Amino acid sequence: MTDLTVDFGNALDAEATPGVSEGALERLDERVGRAHETITAGMADGEFGYASLNLPERTDADRITGTVSGIDADHVLTVGIGGSALGAVTVSEALGLGDRHHTLDNVDPAETRRLLDSLPLDRTAINVVSRSGTTAETLANFLVVEEALEEAGVDWTERTIVTTGQEGPLRVAAEEYGLPALDVPEGVPGRFSVLSAVGLVPAAVLGGDIEAVLDGGRAGREALLDGGSLFDYPGYAYGAVSYALEQRGATVAAMLPYAESLEPFAEWFAQLWAESLGKDGLGQTPARALGATDQHSQLQLYRSGRHDKLVTLVRPRERPEVRIPETEVEGMRYLGDTALGELLDAEFEATEASLAAADQPNVRIELPRIDGPGTGRLLFDVEAACVLAGELMGVKTFTQPAVEWSKRASRGLLGGGEFAEADAVAEKTTRIVGDE
């Protein structure tokens, strides 16, 4: 059993402004119970979106490992964007494989060229991911990567894995060239797909233990199913407290992990939260941060700015040991013969206390350690928190209509069809200061 704890003591109204009272949470828990029925019924029926919470059970690690086993590679280059990249990066990094997992999740020509020039292409697996198989950035990059491999004398058809839906150009290409292919699971939006092939292929290619990640997800799923109350299940505790605090004015969700290997987790969280809950004039704005680094940057604002933020501090209970050598230099001596992890944990606790002393609400999430099970559990519980928050807010958690507008506009601008949205671009109001 992989445990995870959520501590919301510093988000109670006795400690923080805004804060929520125990009484309000007890009343809210009745709504959590009803939302739990909706969520578990959706899971049982495999309903769109809710089906995401079944992935730890449904994903077949052996099938993923088997499918990629024909590709011998030291590096993986993921070609995908948004939900097709962030989860995979999060998993690889948490498993310590981040140095060998690279992504093309943008269409910046300078970065694309830099990356393709720096990789040993004959030792790199190309991991192309798009649910629809029509994502413009992903297809454009895929064409550029294919050409780069050809120019380097590498047969791209022998090094490419495709993860996509049942139809679309990518599925067609996979069949035409006989590429190993995996399915984007049905009923699962991209940002909820990390515990499927979408999130696990790169780690599998690099020899990571993806079954362990699924184990962590399963522990979260069991805790969810056993729960039904915000006072029992940490995922619901986090989702309900976030909702209650947003209602009371905490419209920013600052995610502050104290571990470099969880930096992509903060990015993944930002997508999950913004795209799921940012609708109907609601939704917290995610602010991604990193402890202790951002203490020297964002903490001034978090402590003395508006009381409009819920800061979430995340840490593992156990870290690798790196000792700080002893020193005789005055003013440095107190650091000698401690460990870097002790210093980091002291900073974690100091930051948390400094926010509390300023009545700024914050929540602590702890996991046993940053490994496969810990990561799987964290990802699952935060997904469950997001689904619960969406139920409580009354928004359509699993859609993203506002993303589509600009897709049509950019497609129109590139001559990929007639779209009224493209005309709006030409009508921009300008008010320019400076010489062009």
Output 50 or 348, the one with its CB closest to its own copies. Answer: 348
Question: Which member of 275, 352, 366, 383 is catalytic?
Answer: 275
Q: Is 57 designated active site? A: no
Dist. CA 356–CA 139, nearest whole Å = 48
**425 sits near its own copies (criterion: CB under 8 A):** yes
Of 257, 255, 273, nearest to 374 by C-alpha is 257
Print the binding letters for residues 32-71 with its own copies: x by CB under 8 A, - otherwise. Answer: ----------------------------------------
Say if CB 90 and CB 266 are below 8 A apart: no
Of 377, 381, 397, 379, nearest to 38 by C-alpha is 397
Per CB under 8 A, the list member of 15, 158, 211, 359 interacting with its own copies is 15
The DSSP bridge pattern shows strands 5-7 and 362-367 to be antiparallel
Say if CB 185 and CB 196 are below 8 A apart: yes
Q: 100-119: which residues touch its own copies (CB under 8 A)?
A: 105-114, 118
Output 352 or 391, the one with its CB closest to its own copies. Answer: 352
Output 65 or 130, the one with its CB closest to its own copies. Answer: 130
Output 61 or 359, the one with its CB closest to its own copies. Answer: 359
DSSP class of residue 167 equals S
**349 sits near its own copies (criterion: CB under 8 A):** yes
What number of other Cβ atoms are within 10 A of residue 213's Cβ?
30
Output 20 or 43, the one with its CB closest to its own copies. Answer: 20
**29 sits near its own copies (criterion: CB under 8 A):** no
Burial 379-395 (b: 16+ CB within 10 A, else e): bbbbbbbbbbbbbbbeb
Binding part of the chain for its own copies, among 37-45, 57-65, 204-212, 279-287 by CB under 8 A, reads 279-287
**165 sits near its own copies (criterion: CB under 8 A):** no
Q: Is 307 designated active site? A: no
Say if CB 73 and CB 205 are below 8 A apart: yes
Residue with tokens 């030792």: 123
DSSP class of residue 321 equals -
Per CB under 8 A, the list member of 209, 211, 260, 359 interacting with its own copies is 260
Q: Is 186 designated active site? A: no
Beta bridge partners of 323: 339
Q: 79-98: which residues touch its own copies (CB under 8 A)?
A: 81-83, 86, 96
Residues that bind its own copies (rule: CB under 8 A) add up to a total of 159
Binding part of the chain for its own copies, among 44-52, 199-207, 335-343, 386-394 by CB under 8 A, reads 335-343
**3 sits near its own copies (criterion: CB under 8 A):** yes
Per CB under 8 A, the list member of 275, 310, 372, 389 interacting with its own copies is 275
Output 366 or 383, the one with its CB closest to its own copies. Answer: 366
What number of other Cβ atoms are within 10 A of residue 69's Cβ?
11
**154 sits near its own copies (criterion: CB under 8 A):** no
| Minimum distance, C-beta of residue 107 to its own copies, in the bound complex (Å) | 5
Print the binding letters for residues 203-242 with its own copies: x by CB under 8 A, - otherwise. Answer: --------------------x------xxxxx-xx-----
Token code pair at residue 342:
């002790």
| Minimum distance, C-beta of residue 15 to its own copies, in the bound complex (Å) | 5
Of 251, 256, 250, 282, nearest to 269 by C-alpha is 256
Dist. CA 104–CA 47, nearest whole Å = 32
**245 sits near its own copies (criterion: CB under 8 A):** no
Listed in order, strand segments (DSSP E) in 37-180 are 75-79, 101-104, 124-130, 160-164
Q: Which secondary structure element, helix H or strand E, spans residue 310, and what is its range? A: strand 309-316
What number of other Cβ atoms are within 10 A of residue 24's Cβ?
15
| Minimum distance, C-beta of residue 150 to its own copies, in the bound complex (Å) | 9
Say if CB 315 and CB 366 are below 8 A apart: yes
Binding part of the chain for its own copies, among 62-70, 129-137, 179-187, 208-216 by CB under 8 A, reads 129-137
Annotated catalytic residues are 275, 296, 407
